[in-house]
Amino acid sequence: MTKELEGDDDAGDRGLLSDRIRNALTDEITQGLLEAGAALDEQQLADRFGASRTPVREALRQLAVSGLVEVRGRRGVVVARMTPERIMEMFETVAEIEAMCVRLATYRMTPIERSHLIEMHDLSEAIVEKGDYDAYDAFNLEFHDRIYHATHNGFLAEQAIAVRSRLNAFRRTQLRQGERMRRSRDEHDAIMQAIAEGDGEMASRRMRAHMLNAATALRRFIEASKPT
């Protein structure tokens, strides 16, 4: 009913309507607000955003390229349905890409980049102590981002971020599982040691294990919460 994009978000006002709609839908999907398989009616979305169908259509088509939604011929658009198998495939892919990035980063990062990373990692100890999930989630994102960029390969960093973003909907939940946050930080610590020693291969293996541990924690959570 109300035009959601009108005045409440200061940054959302300017820019192209289709871009704003695309960003809004991207957020809603990756945050899990829109359930997988949910139908995305063009007219309905147009009304919701106070726009016509044209920019909505463009946004939906772009999301389809990103893999966030699924266009089914002339039968409408739905939020991408992901089977558990596919989700695990995505996690494995992210794990491999992260492992690749940390190996390159170990060999290429500047001393300044290294010291910034160490500093961030040191500060994360306090976050774990406080048990602040949201703060740790934000730290975690930036920690990995810095590793991507430390590869000094902008294209690779873009790809890494793009792939990771498709798992956003699942990212936050896994941290709340038991001692996962503490263990995550410990795993970061092991990775940092390998980086400090300049052993990219070791850092890579530890990063892969780190990511797969996170995936396993998530899988346990999903299986526990859906005992169908």
Binding site for a second copy (CB under 8 A): 16, 18, 54, 57-58, 61-62, 64-66, 73, 86, 89-90, 92-93, 96-97, 100, 104, 153-156, 159, 163
- Could you say whether residue 53 binds DNA (CB under 7 A)? yes
Distance set, CA 42 to CA 6, 45, 49, 133 (Å)? 19, 5, 11, 36
How many angstroms separate the CA atoms of 69 and 64, rounded? 5
Written as one letter, the residue type at 68 is L
Residue 18 or 184: the one with the smaller Cβ distance to DNA is 18
Residue 75 binds which one of DNA, a second copy, none, with CB within 5 to 8 A depending on kind? DNA
Residue 6 tokens read as 């009108």
Residue 96 or 113: the one with the smaller Cβ distance to a second copy is 96
First to last CA, the chain: 36
Residue 62 binds which one of a second copy, DNA, none, with CB within 5 to 8 A depending on kind? a second copy
The residues, ordered by sequence, that sit 6+ positions from 164 with a Cβ below 8 Å of its Cβ are: 94, 97, 144
CB of 176 to a second copy, least distance (A): 25
- Could you say whether residue 76 binds DNA (CB under 7 A)? yes
CB of 79 to DNA, least distance (A): 13
Radius of gyration of the chain (CA): 20
Residue 89 binds which one of a second copy, DNA, none, with CB within 5 to 8 A depending on kind? a second copy
Q: From the list 28, 41, 70, 92, which residue makes contact with DNA (rule: CB under 7 A)?
A: 41
The residues, ordered by sequence, that sit 6+ positions from 114 with a Cβ below 8 Å of its Cβ are: 195, 196
Contact status, residue 103 vs residue 208, Cβ threshold 8 Å: no
Residue 42 or 199: the one with the smaller Cβ distance to DNA is 42
Give the interface with DNA as residue ranges (CB under 7 A): 16-18, 39-43, 46, 50-55, 57-58, 71, 73-77
